[in-house]
Copies of this chain bind each other. A is one copy, B any other.
Amino acid sequence: MRLLIVEDDEMLRDGLVVGLRLAGFTADAVATCADADQALVIGGFDGMVLDLMLPDGSGLGVLARLRARGSTLPVLLLTARDRSRDRVTGLDAGADDYLGKPFDLPELAARLRAILRRGEGRAAARMDWNGLSLDPARMEGHIAGRAVRFSRREFTILQALMERPGTILGKPALEERLYGWQEDVESNTVEVHIHNLRFKLGAAFIETVRGVGYRLAGAA
C-alpha cells in the first residue's frame, strides 16, 4: 500500500512517514501543492493524506484537480481544528474522510485502511450492525428495509459508535469527534443527538452506560 503524504510542517510530515511505515504502509511525502500535483500525475499511489493549509495554496485545489482528471484515489484530509467548514467543503470536493489536527496516529492508520479497502472495492464502505446498514458515502442507512437519513452530527456520532460496536464511547470522546479538539460545548448536544438517533433507529439500538457513555446494544 503506497501512500502520498502532503504536509508542509516538517516535523509532522516526518512523523507521519515514520508512523505510517510502522503501520505497514509505504509512504512518500511532499510539502507543496505543486509537488503533490506532479506526484499524482506520475501516479502509483493507493491513497493520499492531504493537508489543507499549504504554502502555495489550499489542498482543496489539489483534490479538485485530481478528481477533475477522473481519479477515484482514496483521499483523507487533515484539517485544522476549528475549521469545520473546511471539512464539509472537503467532503463535497471529493475527499473520502477527514481528520482534525492534532490526531492520533493509530486512528489515522485505521481510517486509511478503511478508505483504502473501499478503493479496492474489496469490502463496501458499508458498516452493518444489528440490522442497520450504514452508507458513509451517502450519509444514510437502511434498517428493516427502510431508508433512514441522518444529519451531519447524527451521522458522525453514529459512525463513531459503529466503528467499534460494543465499545463504550464517553461524551467527551464523542464531542471530540463532533468538534475539533477544544471548542467547548457547555451543553448536552450529544444527549440530544443520541435522542434523535434513537427516535430514528429504535430506542434499543443505542445503549446508555450511566456515568460512562454510550455504545451499540446487542454486544454479547
Task: For the complex, count residues of A whose C-beta is within 8 A of B.
Answer: 36
Q: Which residues of B contact A173 (CB under 8 A)?
A: 113, 117
Q: Is B139 touching A117 in the complex (CB atoms < 8 A)? A: no
What is the bound-complex CA distance between A151 and B219, given in angstroms? 17
- Does A56 make an interface contact (CB < 8 A)? no
Q: Mark A106-144, 1 if CB is under 8 A from B, else 0.
A: 110111011001100100000000000000011100000
Q: Complex Cα distance A118/B173, Å?
A: 12
A211 vs B154: C-alpha distance when bound (angstroms): 12
In the complex, residue of chain B having the shortest beta-carbon distance to the beta carbon of A81:
B110
Docked pose: A148 CA to B114 CA in angstroms? 32
CB distance from A66 to the nearest CB of B (A): 23
Q: Quick check: which of A32-40, A42-50, A164-172, A191-199 contacts chain B, the rest being far away? A: A164-172
Between-chain CB contacts (< 8 Å), 18 pairs: A24-B172, A102-B114, A104-B117, A104-B121, A104-B182, A106-B121, A106-B182, A106-B184, A113-B173, A117-B173, A137-B168, A138-B166, A139-B168, A139-B209, A139-B212, A151-B211, A152-B211, A152-B212
